[in-house]
């Protein structure tokens, strides 16, 4: 699956799930839920890009991209959550729950997609 198609699938999942849940969300939680979903979506697209980019490269490049990318993405997510809660004033529980729920769903999707890629296939 190409990066563009993976991104479209992820954004489609975010859009469809938020459209279904939006009427049931309290108005004060909506921005936090949207923020958590978009952070998780950006995280999974970056992770997929790094995994696909590193496929077929040396083990050193693979581990640097995947593990270094994980550290970088975790740091950025932590910073974004702190800014969202402390500066913007987003509600903590809806933001955290949304981020974790979408993170787990996208992790399952990413693993399912990557496990079906041919060995050494590069990003398109």
Cβ contact 12:74 at 8 Å? no
Q: What is the pLDDT of residues 87-118, one digit of tens each?
A: 999 999 999 999 999 999 999 999 898 888 76
> Nearest 5 degrees, angle CA 109-CA 112-CA 116?
140
Contact between 1 and 100 (Cβ < 8 Å)? no
Start-to-end Cα distance in the chain:
8
Q: Please check whether residue 51 is in contact with residue 107, taking contact to mean a CB–CB distance below 8 angstroms.
A: no
pTM: 0.87
pLDDT of residue 119: 61
Residues of the chain with pLDDT under 50: 123
d(CA 109, CA 14): 13
């Amino acid at each position: 699956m190409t990066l563009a198609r993976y991104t479209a699938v992820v954004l489609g999942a975010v859009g469809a799930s938020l459209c279904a849940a939006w009427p049931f969300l309290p108005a004060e939680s909506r921005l936090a839920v949207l923020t958590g979903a978009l952070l998780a979506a950006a995280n999974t697209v970056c992770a997929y890009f790094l995994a696909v980019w590193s496929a077929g490269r040396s083990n050193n490049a693979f581990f640097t991209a995947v593990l270094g990318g994980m550290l970088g993405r975790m740091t950025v997510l932590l910073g974004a959550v702190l800014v969202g809660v402390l500066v913007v004033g987003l509600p903590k529980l809806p933001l955290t729950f949304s981020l974790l729920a979408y993170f787990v769903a996208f992790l399952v999707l990413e693993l399912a997609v990557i496990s079906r890629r041919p060995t050494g296939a590069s990003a398109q």
